[in-house]
Amino acid sequence: MSDTIIRHVVVPGTFDPVTLGHLDVIARTRRMFSQVTIGVAASLTKNGSGPHFSLEERTQMLRESIVELRIDKGVEIRPFSGLLMDLCRTIGADGVVKGLRAMTDFEYELQQADLNYRLAPEVESIFVMGSPRHGYISSSIVRELALMGGDVSFLVPACVKRRLDTLNEA
């Protein structure tokens, strides 16, 4: 066990698209750690079909969102493919922060944390509870609501809403 203080963490995700729930976890993480890297996963096989938005689009929406919400100080955004623990080693991150909404999130994330520990025991797994006001938000719900013409302005930043509005124009 190391006495190293955790200063640099990665908040990983697909962010397809980024939601106010994701951004809440990122903002709270930034208050706890001096350096935060948002790892935008390529996730080519997520849910069997891959993400809706391209890696470049998701990365751009995140950049715009953290500036819009003024949580960009000390936050870097880095797209990646491959193993999360490889990204952590490459950038020198001491920990991984995962946001939790419900018990089902915990069960899944605990399995991932166990695997990550086996791959990189020097990288700590940290769980941050999402705000209750954003606990029900998921990217898939946001996409589905947007595709059906519903108002998603209470679920995502304005820059993401504008991007989602274009889904119905196509």
- Residues noted as catalytic: 22, 46, 101, 139
Q: Where are the beta strands (DSSP E) in 51-152?
A: 75-80, 95-100, 124-129
* Residues facing 126 on adjacent strands: 97
| Geometric angle at alpha carbon 54, from 134 and 114, rounded to 5° | 60
Q: Are 122 and 6 in contact (CB under 8 A)?
A: no
Q: Residues in the chain, how many? A: 170
Cα 42 from chain centroid? 12
Secondary structure letter of residue 127 according to DSSP = E
Q: Is the peptide bond before 17 cis (omega within 30 degrees of 0)?
A: yes
